Amino acid sequence: MHLKTLTLRGFKSFASATTLEFEPGVTCVVGPNGSGKSNVVDALAWVMGEQGAKTLRGGQMADVIFAGTSGRAPLGRAEVSLTIDNADGALPIDYTEVTISRTLFRSGGSEYAINGSPCRLLDIQDLLSDSGLGREMHVIVGQGQLDAVLRATPEDRRHFIEEAAGILKHRRRKEKALRK
């Protein structure tokens, strides 16, 4: 399984439809400050179901919708589609290619789809959760976080790793149980 394409339409600074193509392996996104590199990563988190406006570096969810520039009017919706190569069947769905999409309207409504069929957020989370791409299984290290990791004490560093590995919630449960 690997990511194939990511299409942004009206998402943050990407007013016009923009498609990024990924090959298997490591992808680097390079560009000047403010050119939209982090917005691409935000789009990836968003289409996979991210619900936290802060995680997406905004104050409210509507901040992901293109807000306009001096030369271009704001848009009424943001749309992101992610196509995943599923030739190895890692996603529990009978398609060799799976496209998940998310749309948010400035009026407040939102839509989710799997291969063009409308679905719920829960359906997308369920689809991704067994594959290593789910809500708690993918890890996005934000700008500045790397510094925090490098400067962290060994205890803090273990905390990051346990969170990334999904162990933290079990540790918390264990500690809570031991306190009783």
Residues that bind ligand ATP (CB under 6 A): 12-13, 31, 33-39, 63, 65-67, 143
Is residue 13 within the footprint of Mg ion (CB under 5 A)? no
Shortest distance in whole angstroms from residue 57 CB to ligand ATP: 7
Q: What are phi and psi of 93, to 5 degrees?
A: -150, 145
* Window 22 to 41, contacts with Mg ion (CB under 5 A): 37-38
What are the start-end ranges of the H helices in 19-167? 37-47, 121-129, 145-151, 154-165
Shortest distance in whole angstroms from residue 74 CB to ligand ATP: 8
Question: How buried is residue 98: exposed, middle or buried, by Cβ count under 10 Å (0-12/13-18/19+)?
Answer: buried
Cβ distance to ligand ATP smaller for residue 21 or 63 = 63
- Please report, in angstroms and rounded to a whole number, the separation of the first and last CA atoms in the chain: 43
Cβ distance to ligand ATP smaller for residue 109 or 144 = 144
Shortest distance in whole angstroms from residue 163 CB to ligand ATP: 23
Q: Which residues, in sequence order, are CB contacts of 50 under 8 Å at separation 6+?
A: 56
Query: Has 39 been labeled as part of a binding site?
Result: yes
Query: Has 38 been labeled as part of a binding site?
Result: yes
Q: What sign does the dihedral 113-119-125-126 (CA atoms) show?
A: negative
Footprint on this chain of Mg ion (rule: CB under 5 A): 37-38, 143
Q: Which residues are annotated as a binding site for ATP?
A: 32-39
